[in-house]
Structure 1
């Protein structure tokens, strides 16, 4: 094969190299500067990273080298790595935003299914459930984003094994870390350990700061085209729940409760807030429903009936009853979601059923207003 014919083959191979943060081919992102093949069959590829110190640099270089060396007829690969200029980065961010100004892409009219996961009380396993649902949806082929909106009690980074992960900033655009196919962002990823802002730091913010934080997560973080966006809300009906209702009136709410009557009564209030902000309750999940016994019975440590009570009060379906599970707790502590690590666990099975129902909901324009008018 003439060496000149190898260049388009190398370029075609590079089109299969995906930026691990942006999740698009590097050829579409303007990261491939030039390709050439010398007389000895060595392919020289010049690539441009988005920023200095790009955390994905090693993986991109490895994937580029593997792709090039896998082309029949190529004897070897030589990489020249540099960084985009300010103008090239500006062009990239404009391309990713589709030429639009900085806007929040998940509001009314968006094709993305938005789920706000809430609860009345803390400690009902809402964050663990949200993380596992997000991972389960991604495992079913959906493009999934997860916003840790529980600013004061953030836990999503630990649940997804992203402790220490930092988002990448490309000018005014934030690229979220990815775990198990889920793009996730949390205030915990922005705390500076060099200033004593570690995992145990307290975020002492009030209403306006909380609102701006959620707005920035939804506007400046580049999630790309998502099938589903999940928000892990703080318990109760405070500032963040109200802000999410204002910013995302199209979001569907998933209410998490335990079987205990006292917890259920409070959970109803968090679901009732959805109606006040124009949101719809998608369904109710009863967590910690009971502890499975060796004889097949269920030990109801926290009573029974809480999920059904909340569902009835909110006129919404009971999506599932997740039993107590040691494996679920261990997976959360280790950052390894149970839906992947132990799919046969009873808790994992129920979460999978909920994810199956969510994943089969089509993205369509039915019932949505379109930004067009007849000519």
Structure 2
């Protein structure tokens, strides 16, 4: 059972019945693995992952991001590392760190051109995700955030069944709360006995620049019904602001005091 020594779930799972099949690197010591998931694309899941990583780092934690979206990776660009490449010693892969020492791994560190497509079948994609966990020298981490691809496909199942996930944060936008798409992702996690920590509602509101009033474009009554029906909590609401939008173009830099309070509340529940 030596492979369990560096596992975040060591001592808290039944090793005889556990579905965990990934090999934990002997030189890695990862305390918590949190997956960031969405029911569909375009809700800002990767941006939320980046913001959470930045906030955790600001609070003194050692953080890594595993970009498991093999066919649509965006973490290198969001972290300001799009021109970087990963190095290897032949057996192990070295993660790429930004100026805040947030360690990251993405398939885009292994292609010559950022927009070069990865045309792989399912088994190759899922094996790559496993290798990003097992073969990367993450070292000492308080949190490893896994940026998941949208939906409930092969990668989501592989991560939930094979990796020692401590919990999942679901990301959505207000109008999706009344749809079946988010519920599908939540129910998938529950079926596989993975703890859903709650929902981060992105693009929740805009703030009036003159009176500071929060303007919600969608009514919240249906959202409340959604949370109750699925027995899940709202971790926090992120506004639609230029600060967040600019991360897509310039990478994450500093977090404003207005946004910091919300992010602190979210990460306190991870």
> If the TM-score is normalised by the length of the shorter chain, which range does it land in?
0.7 to 0.9
Residue matched to 2:10: 109
Tell me how far apart the structure 2 counterparts of residues 246 and 121 of structure 1 sit (CA, whole Å). 20
SS in 2 for 1:124: coil
Distance change (3 Å), C-alpha of 1:160 and 1:306: farther
Tell me how far apart the structure 2 counterparts of residues 321 and 302 of structure 1 sit (CA, whole Å). 13
Distance change (3 Å), C-alpha of 1:212 and 1:316: same
C-alpha displacement of 1:181: 2.4
SS in 1 for 2:125: helix
SS in 2 for 1:226: strand
Deviations 1:323-345 (A, max 9, x none): 111111113310134xxx2422x
Residue matched to 2:130: 215
Tell me how far apart the structure 1 counterparts of residues 163 and 118 of structure 2 sit (CA, whole Å). 24
Residue matched to 1:333: 249
Within a 5 Å distance, the mapping from 1:146-295 to structure 2 comes to 146-179=65-98, 180-192=100-112, 198-248=113-163, 250-261=165-176, 264-293=179-208, 294-295=210-211
C-alpha displacement of 1:175: 1.0
SS in 1 for 2:140: coil
CA contact (8 A) 1:308 1:318 kept: no
Question: Where in structure 1 are there 5+ consecutive unaligned residues?
Answer: 1-99, 193-197, 359-375
TM-score, length of structure 2 as denominator length: 0.84
Deviations 1:209-231 (A, max 9, x none): 11100110011001012111110
Pick from 204, 216, 228 the counterpart of residue 312 of structure 1.
228
Larger radius of gyration: 1
For this pair of structures, how many residues does the alignment match? Answer: 249
Question: Where in structure 2 are there 5+ consecutive unaligned residues?
Answer: 12-29
Deviations 1:123-143 (A, max 9, x none): 111100001101111121111
C-alpha displacement of 1:291: 0.7
Tell me how far apart the structure 1 counterparts of residues 44 and 176 of structure 2 sit (CA, whole Å). 16
SS in 2 for 1:211: helix
Deviations 1:74-128 (A, max 9, x none): xxxxxxxxxxxxxxxxxxxxxxxxxx77x89546318621111101111111100
C-alpha displacement of 1:302: 4.7
CA RMSD, Structure 1 to Structure 2 (Å): 2.3
Distance change (3 Å), C-alpha of 1:205 and 1:167: same
Pick from 54, 57, 64 the counterpart of residue 145 of structure 1.
64
Distance change (3 Å), C-alpha of 1:107 and 1:310: farther
Pick from 109, 124, 129 the counterpart of residue 48 of structure 2.
129
Tell me how far apart the structure 1 counterparts of residues 252 and 177 of structure 2 sit (CA, whole Å). 31
Greater RCO (Cα-Cα under 8 Å, separation 6 or more): 2
Within a 5 Å distance, the mapping from 1:294-305 to structure 2 comes to 294-304=210-220
Tell me how far apart the structure 2 counterparts of residues 249 and 305 of structure 1 sit (CA, whole Å). 35
Deviations 1:18-38 (A, max 9, x none): xxxxxxxxxxxxxxxxxxxxx
TM-score, length of structure 1 as denominator length: 0.62
CA contact (8 A) 1:118 1:235 kept: yes
Within a 5 Å distance, the mapping from 1:362-373 to structure 2 comes to none
